[in-house]
Amino acid sequence: MTEFVYQCSTCGRTYKRDEVRYLCPACSKEYKPGMPLVGVLSARFDYAAIRKRFKKTSPDWNLFSAVEPKYYPPYPAGNTPFFKSAALGEKFGFANLWLKNDGLNPSGSLKDRASFLVVAEAKRIREKSIVTASTGNAASALAAVCAAAGRQAVILVPKTAPKAKLVQMLLYGARVIPVNGTYDDAFRLSLEYTACKGGLNRNTAYHPLTIEGKKTVGLEIFAQNSFKAPDAILVPVGDGVIIGGAYKAFYDLKAAGLIARLPRFICVQAERSSAIHRYIETGRYQNASNPATIADSISVSIPSNAHMARTAVLESGGFSVTVTDGEILAGQRDLAQKTGIFAEPAAAATVAALKKLQKSKLLGRNEQIVLLITGHGLKDIEAALKNIRIPPSVEPTMKGLNAGAGAAVHRRSRV
């Protein structure tokens, strides 16, 4: 760990580490449920110290961490594969396309990174229970990390969350409270819950270490890419914390003198859940009125980290795109069939965006482009079932196979 202060992303005031817990006390007076968070805090490190102590020959990534390693839970989050996919790149005409497969985290999504750091913080400040509202993945991740750390997870999720995600959190032993309402309702209720009953609130962006935790995905991309920043990173965006965190990684690296320029951050949203997209395009913020999308992990009406997400895109010279559910499902199929990666719909939105951008000038043919694959496909097979047809069965004889539907499948696969 390196010394740091918290800086308010709205007013710029700074606070000592233990002086604040969630939002900037000055700005959060302006916050009312029903709007994006104001006064979200960002850790500002002693970058001169990092610059002096960081060595590429034996990199100490803990220098970029906001919690001392002695508090880390015994839970191996991160260190996910980063690799080039020539086949997927070729399909869309990009010569240098790379994937960061964060679906291979222990609980199956990038959310493990945020839960890991917040649970470490809970140990440091001796909070026994950690509370979160979630569309599903943040909760499964929190439940898993709490299980490993011997702490209690309390979870508020919309009752419509995909079954596999509910199964995960219950099996890990969390206290799960399904909410008759949307994710945004659960978010508001969880703030009231910790205000009344205590515990550490892990709501995304509300707790500043969710951003710092997600930052590690950017640090890993930098390390795995031979200590270079790629040209562009496509990120599926719901609340805007993954994009804010990945941006923060490169912000820190630049501040520490390790890179000269930031990668461009490309915000990818579902067409009907696109409050941040519209905010970036128009400069005016408005909630998404009905954020219905098959990509449940990026379905949000009032994105908590809208302001920081917009900053990440604008400051990095990036841009924003939206994709439809049909395009997301096609992206899920393309990714599976060209790379062998089964991603949940939110994660596959990046593939849909890439396809949409193949004819535009916004991404160069030879630029190094990274798709952030944020969650595993087995988390929501109901969605994937819309993509495929399970063939009818045949009698277990060659005669039956030749006569039945299997024959048609066989003939088709030979051409």
Ligand X SMILES: *Cc1c(COP(=O)(O)O)cnc(C)c1O
Name the residue nearer to ligand X (CB basis): 111 or 123.
Answer: 111
Name the residue nearer to ligand X (CB basis): 168 or 297.
Answer: 297
Name the residue nearer to ligand X (CB basis): 155 or 241.
Answer: 241
Cα-Cα-Cα-Cα torsion 329, 280, 312, 112, nearest 10 degrees, comes to -40
Positions in the binding site for ligand X (CB under 6 A): 109, 111, 137, 204, 236-242, 297-298, 344, 346-347, 374-375
* Binding-site partner at residue 236 among ligand X, Zn ion, none, CB < 5 to 8 Å by type: ligand X
Select the span of 31-39, 59-67, 230-238, 328-336 touching Zn ion (CB under 5 A): 31-39
Q: Which residue is nearest to ligand X (CB)?
A: 375
Task: Kindly identify the residues of this chain, within the stretch 32-91, that bind Zn ion according to CB under 5 A.
Answer: 39
State the minimum distance, in angstroms, from the CB of residue 377 to ligand X: 10
DSSP SS3 for 306: helix
Sign of the alpha-carbon torsion through 359, 364, 366, 369: negative
Name the residue nearer to ligand X (CB basis): 190 or 204.
Answer: 204
Give whole-number Cα distances, 21 to 7, 10, 16, 405, in Å. 12, 16, 10, 61
Are 108 and 136 a contacting pair, CB within 8 Å?
no
- Asked if 321 interacts with Zn ion (CB under 5 A), we say no
- Asked if 104 interacts with Zn ion (CB under 5 A), we say no
State the minimum distance, in angstroms, from the CB of residue 365 to ligand X: 27
State the minimum distance, in angstroms, from the CB of residue 262 to Zn ion: 24
Residue type, 2: T
Cα 90 from Cα 112, distance rounded (Å): 31
- Considering only the C-alpha atoms of the chain, give the largest distance between any 2 of them, rounded to a whole number of Å: 77
- Asked if 11 interacts with Zn ion (CB under 5 A), we say yes
State the minimum distance, in angstroms, from the CB of residue 139 to ligand X: 10
Q: What share of the chain is helix, strand, coil (3-state, %, to 5)?
A: 45, 15, 40
* Binding-site partner at residue 374 among Zn ion, ligand X, none, CB < 5 to 8 Å by type: ligand X
Cα 290 from Cα 278, distance rounded (Å): 14
* Binding-site partner at residue 297 among Zn ion, ligand X, none, CB < 5 to 8 Å by type: ligand X
Burial status of residue 314 (CB atoms within 10 A of its CB: 0-12, 13-18, 19 or more): middle
State the minimum distance, in angstroms, from the CB of residue 51 to ligand X: 29
The residues, ordered by sequence, that sit 6+ positions from 234 with a Cβ below 8 Å of its Cβ are 266, 268, 350, 353, 354, 369, 370, 371, 372
Question: Which member of 2, 10, 273, 293 binds Zn ion (CB under 5 A)?
Answer: 10
- Asked if 5 interacts with Zn ion (CB under 5 A), we say no
State the minimum distance, in angstroms, from the CB of residue 185 to ligand X: 16
Residue 33 half-sphere exposure, CB side, CA atoms within 13 Å? 10
- Asked if 26 interacts with Zn ion (CB under 5 A), we say yes
Specify the length of the chain in residues: 415
Sign of the alpha-carbon torsion through 87, 265, 81, 323: negative
State the minimum distance, in angstroms, from the CB of residue 108 to ligand X: 9
Q: Give phi and psi for 377, each to the nearest 5.
A: -65, -25
* Binding-site partner at residue 28 among ligand X, Zn ion, none, CB < 5 to 8 Å by type: none
State the minimum distance, in angstroms, from the CB of residue 28 to Zn ion: 8
- Asked if 208 interacts with Zn ion (CB under 5 A), we say no
State the minimum distance, in angstroms, from the CB of residue 300 to Zn ion: 23
Residue type, 197: K
- Asked if 374 interacts with Zn ion (CB under 5 A), we say no
Name the residue nearer to ligand X (CB basis): 154 or 300.
Answer: 300
The site for Zn ion (CB under 5 A) is made up of 8, 10-11, 13, 24, 26-27, 39
